[in-house]
Amino acid sequence: MARGAELFVVCKNCQSEVSPYVTECPYCGHRVRKRAPKIERAGAKAAREPRRARGRARRTATARGPRLGRLRPGEIPGLRADGLTRPWATIFAVGACFALYLLAVAGAVTATNLIIIGPIDGEWWRPFTAPFVHLSGGGSVFAGGAYQFATLVGVGVFGWLLERRHGAWIVVVLFLLGGAGGMALESVIDPSPLALGANGFALALLVAWAMPDVMAWRRDEDWEGDLLGTATIGLVLLLMPLAVPGCSAIAGFTGVLAGLLLGLPLARLSER
């Protein structure tokens, strides 16, 4: 059993009491510690503090900030229930991709009316709908459903992690910059454009999520994520235009720039 003084730690940024077994404050996102402490083994007897020391520790904790109130349904000590809600923006993005794929295969939707194919010519909706469309066929290993699976792994995993960290707004903004923005840039730069799929959107989410760990790695500090696995997924998404007709390299690099543009300042703010 943990001692009374170890039930909570105080975030230096927002002065909130959080669980000692988390490394990131759930209220403001500030890094509380590099790694969580080890849990005592079962049967190990903790040394009992003198009553005077325990009372002094309780008074110090009370002076630092307000105690947590009664827990709400779905809430655990040190983590707000708001942080455990479903990532609705990521769920909508992934669900829309699968829905449009199934409708296109069934013939209920004409996918060529939703993607970037030739000049836009006033069809303003195409950059916003093209990231959700993945056509079948093409004769390559990543064509159709496999292409969709590869990109939506990036969208689902890194979108969920980012939405838990910052909220749904960051997923929406990165879709506008990396997803729709990459498609619009493709239609402007390429004289005969053909672009579809969520590779730019996935790369924007991946880069924005990885920024805190990359900055910790450059400072030779501990980091929490798997940078090697993240780099592998990013490399696959960047090289995918070589194997998939319609997968835009311009949209991919636009997604990387969008992730840097938004992820870098957010990572610096969370360190303060």
Interval 121-150: pLDDT, tens: 888 999 999 999 887 554 443 455 677 788
Tell me the pLDDT tens digit for each residue of 25-46: 877 877 777 666 666 665 544 4
Tokens 């199934």: give the residue.
Answer: 102
User: pLDDT 10s per residue in the chain (272 long)?
Assistant: 444 445 777 887 787 887 877 778 877 877 777 666 666 665 544 455 555 554 555 555 444 444 444 555 545 454 444 445 688 999 999 999 888 888 887 888 888 889 898 888 888 999 999 999 887 554 443 455 677 788 989 999 999 999 998 999 999 999 999 999 999 999 999 888 889 989 999 999 999 999 999 988 888 887 777 889 899 999 999 998 888 888 899 999 999 999 999 999 998 887 76
| Distance (Å, whole) CA 54 – CA 259 | 47
Among the four given CATH numbers 1.20.1540.10, 1.20.1530.20, 3.40.50.1950, 3.40.50.300, the one describing domain 86-271: 1.20.1540.10
Domains of the chain: which residue ranges? 1-84, 86-271
Q: Which helix (H) or strand (E) holds 232?
A: helix 227-239
Q: Would you state the pLDDT for residue 81?
A: 45
Residues 6+ apart with CB under 8 A from 10: 16, 17, 18, 61, 64, 65
Q: Would you state the pLDDT for residue 21?
A: 77
| Distance (Å, whole) CA 144 – CA 107 | 15
CA-wise closest residue to 177 among 205, 212, 158, 197 = 205
What share of residues in the chain are helix, strand, coil (percent, to 5)? 55, 5, 40
Q: Tokens in use for 103? A: 């409708």
Q: Would you state the pLDDT for residue 79?
A: 47
